[in-house]
Structure 1
Amino acid sequence: MDAKLAVIGLGSIGSMALWQASRLSDSVVGFEAATPAHGRSAVGGDTRLFRMVYLGKPDYYPIIERSRGLWADLEAETGQEILTVTGGLSIGTANGSFITSLLEATRITGAEHCVLSREEMADRYPQHNLRPDDCAVYDPRAGVLRTDRAVSAAVAAARANGATVLQNTPVDSITETDHGVVVTSGDRTWTFEKVIVASGGWSRRLMPDHLKAVTETHRIVLTWFIAQDGMQFSPEKFPVFSRLYGDRSLYGAPAVDGVTVKASVDGPLDGRGRETPDPDSVPRELTREEVEKVTDIVTEFFPGLTPTIVRSDAFPDLFTEDRHPLLGWLNENSRVYCATGFSGKGFKMATGYGHIAAHEALGKQTIDGLDFVRPDRFKTR
């Protein structure tokens, strides 16, 4: 054996799995096809939203809670500021389905929150152009995550703990044997007791056919706009946000650089419905439809932003058929553990997912309540 555990892909989830595994074992190797936090991975885009008030399956909430503590651990271990607490706003029609569903989710999970009326919103957050029937759910523990900094810090921490990191080493295949897992890159091979596959949009190449059939690599589009008054959109004054009104949806983050505000369409026209068979050739340029859609929404929602896209980019991520991740062993006898398929919404919980993957792959702990993300839910397809 070359080591107990290999982690393939050191992006959003793999970097965190490597860091967590390095705290549990001194026999861990990470494989990265390029370099950690490289510009073409799903890590790209500078920031991601962290939210405790979350419109999703309540079973995610314990992972979000664990992730929040682990982000603080990573900051303490590396001296890096990764999660900036800004608060978070979810804006929609009062008594509409979006707000009603959010409040039902908070009732089940117990997430701290308060409801802000249109008048309270206009007073506290005048950056938003509100409709007469708007209100917001405020999340005091929400914030903005620095993606590149997070991944780089996790890999550095893993190295400091004794993990080996192999950069510019794309994995061509993984083969299970009676005694371990053989990992091949070019003309080199290694053998490990267990392997975690966490290579995002590139994971399909290493999957069995039944999981290839229920996954697709999709394109995620991000856009930025210039603030006319950068101070009004600073992290101190402008919480992360998501907004839904009819077929118009937008989410974003404050101007962490003091100038540009991330404001990106969230829905069918943001590219998430667009399959990209080759993650190495994701179209980076926005279509005319994409430009018009996001510009139109930003013009209405934010009079304080210049309604011209000043920066945009697109990144690949692996989506599953049911939009829940693949987190667990390929099957009950497998030595290959999946940590992929996060469907464009994994980064906020990356530390929690990394913790689960590392502990389960190294046999330290099995986490209950995760049947909805286990890969074997697709085994009968």
Structure 2
Amino acid sequence: MTDGKLAVIGLGSIGSMALWQASRLTDSVTGFEAHAPAHARSAVGGDTRLFRMLYRGVPDLYPILERSRDLWAELEAETGQNILTRTGGLSIGTKDGPYIPPLLETTRTNGAEHEILSREEMAERYPQHNLRPDDIAVYDPHAGALRTDRAVTAAVAAAEANGATVHSNTPIESITETADGVVITSGEKSWTFENVIVSSGGWSQRLMPDYLKAATQTKRLFLTWFVAKNASEFIPEKFPVFSRVHDGRSMYGAPAVDGATVKATLDGRGRPTPNPDTVPRELSTAEIAETTETVTDFLPGLIPNIVRSDTFPDLYTKDGNPILGRFNEGSRIYVATGFSGGGFKNATGFGEIAANEVLGKRTFDGLDFIRPLRFSSRQPTS
């Protein structure tokens, strides 16, 4: 006898969605969270994350983005929560620089809807951005701001309504495959499940095999918020989410969803942290200086004083792509982690894939670039 068909360890961005999707497939699923769902120290923290259909990189991600967009709408309909605030989105950079051309190449490969805005058109439509003469923007009509806390708590509540069981404040310390299933332990308690999904974000390493530990690293991310000189210019209806790269500087942000503070934070500044439980909370002098200098340059309508900041751990992989799949062929342990600071927009889609695959309901092709075995010396041969 087992305690259920599936345990989901870690109910953050991906785990909460996997739990919700699994609860649609079986009433024998249990979620374990070391603290509480959407707790402030996880990578879920920080109010919002960007949802956008336009990006540089692997075109194979686009179908997952499309499915994720549909599933965000389904979660909203199922729970009555407003999770994705649709604002549109801007990708801003030099016309012939390192950001815009590859973004447009991926966008055109995917056939994603978009609009190219000249500097003059940007000045008319979105004057909040201080652009250089050779800057342009690519507008994404489907982009918006995901309300992270609301998304995770809604998914967990939806799963519980479907019959899932949730154990909060229950950190899982070990997982062991046996002939009967997978044994997981927390303190003096133990459970046995037919299958397990490890989706603990920055805390996943301790539960992973050595080959995945070697391919991953926990990093500290920081977020910053500012007050606008004229708040009405930065409301969601007027100020789309954005990502901007210029001359070695990169910043992304979201409108004032709380009516007061605008998120504007440096991108790509994650630094290694050995322990996700002891991530330094305070920003360094250098981090503050670079952030305020960039805000002064990019967004002169914001008062260049950080009024709020916070830091979070997330798990990064060597190639920047997530890890989604079983530890090895035939394993009952499935891992969904390593999203490298960019997984929230696809959380619903990745959660659906994980739930269906681990429960044997459906498999998904074309995902070799995110499978765990790409990091293993024991990769299957064709």
Alignment TM-score > 0.5, same fold: yes
Q: Provide the residue aligned with 2:240 in structure 1.
A: 239
Unpaired runs of 5+ in structure 2?
none
Distance 2:89 2:290 in 1: 24
State the AA in 2 paired with 1:348: K
| C-alpha deviation, 1:378, in angstroms | 1.0
SS state at 1:168 partner: coil
Alignment of 1:183-222 (within 5 A): 183-222=184-223
State the AA in 2 paired with 1:259: A
1:104 is the counterpart of 2:105: yes
CA offsets 1:104-144 (integer angstroms, 9 cap, x no match): 01111011001000000000001111111111000000000
| C-alpha deviation, 1:55, in angstroms | 1.4
Q: Provide the residue aligned with 1:334 in structure 2.
A: 331
Q: Provide the residue aligned with 2:272 in structure 1.
A: 275
Q: Provide the residue aligned with 1:317 in structure 2.
A: 314
1:287 is the counterpart of 2:280: no
TM-score normalised according to structure 1 size: 0.98
Distance 1:289 1:63 in 2: 37
State the AA in 1 paired with 2:125: R
Q: Provide the residue aligned with 1:124 in structure 2.
A: 125
Distance 2:145 2:57 in 1: 19
CA offsets 1:208-258 (integer angstroms, 9 cap, x no match): 111111111100110000011111000000000000111111100000011
Alignment of 1:353-364 (within 5 A): 353-364=350-361
| C-alpha deviation, 1:95, in angstroms | 2.2
Distance 1:211 1:97 in 2: 31
Among candidates 363, 375, 378, match of residue 378 of structure 1: 375
| C-alpha deviation, 1:161, in angstroms | 0.2
CA offsets 1:254-273 (integer angstroms, 9 cap, x no match): 00011110000012xx2x1x
CA offsets 1:175-230 (integer angstroms, 9 cap, x no match): 00122000100000100000000000000010111111111110011000001111
Distance 1:321 1:48 in 2: 23
Q: In angstroms, what is the RMSD of aligned CA positions?
A: 0.7
Distance 1:346 1:39 in 2: 17
Among candidates 297, 301, 315, match of residue 300 of structure 1: 297
Q: Provide the residue aligned with 1:142 in structure 2.
A: 143
Q: Provide the residue aligned with 1:347 in structure 2.
A: 344
TM-score normalised according to structure 2 size: 0.98
Distance 1:116 1:208 in 2: 47
Q: Provide the residue aligned with 1:55 in structure 2.
A: 56
Distance 1:38 1:97 in 2: 36
Q: Provide the residue aligned with 2:229 in structure 1.
A: 228
Deviates more, 1:183-192 or 1:97-106: 97-106
Distance 2:112 2:131 in 1: 25
SS state at 1:54 partner: coil
